[in-house]
A = this chain, B = another copy of it.
């Protein structure tokens, strides 16, 4: 046995499975550029029609209704005792939902945990979806 018992390797997930895992958790982290610096905020989300819908303070992630921004979105469920779990990273284009009716409908679906100005509804259209699960490293070796 050449592997320590808690060593892990990454098994990549199909996109459909990664998006299913993402849809099954209530929050993740939006990764964006702000004042030319990398920025990150935990937010809650829903996955709807293949897109990730979040709410944000206006101007935080996407400048205004006419602009779009390339962002990343990450969610995970990791168990640091067992060293098992999964992580999904989506890179995509974030746009403000401009249509008032659509924005109102989506607002009801993504109620922020935090009281305050989270009045901008943002939709992230995934372009690259990377998901992995941690599996025991020795599983790749077959039976001992």
Q: How many residues of A contact B (CB 8 A)?
A: 37
- How many copies of this chain sit in the oligomeric assembly? 2
Tell yes or no: A87 within 8 A of B by CB.
Answer: yes
Encode A89-122 as 1/0 by CB contact (under 8 A) with B: 1010000000000000000000001111000000
A131 to nearest B CB, angstroms? 12
Contacts of A48 in B (CB 8 A): none
Please state if A31 and B39 are interface contacts (CB–CB under 8 Å): yes
Please state if A72 and B38 are interface contacts (CB–CB under 8 Å): yes
- Greatest chain B CB density within 10 A among A25, A32, A33, A72 is at A72
Please state if A113 and B42 are interface contacts (CB–CB under 8 Å): no
Tell yes or no: A60 within 8 A of B by CB.
Answer: no
Encode A79-90 as 1/0 by CB contact (under 8 A) with B: 010010001010
A interface with B by C-beta (< 8 Å): 3, 6-10, 25-27, 29, 31-33, 37-42, 44, 70-72, 74, 76, 78, 80, 83, 87, 89, 91, 113-116, 134, 137
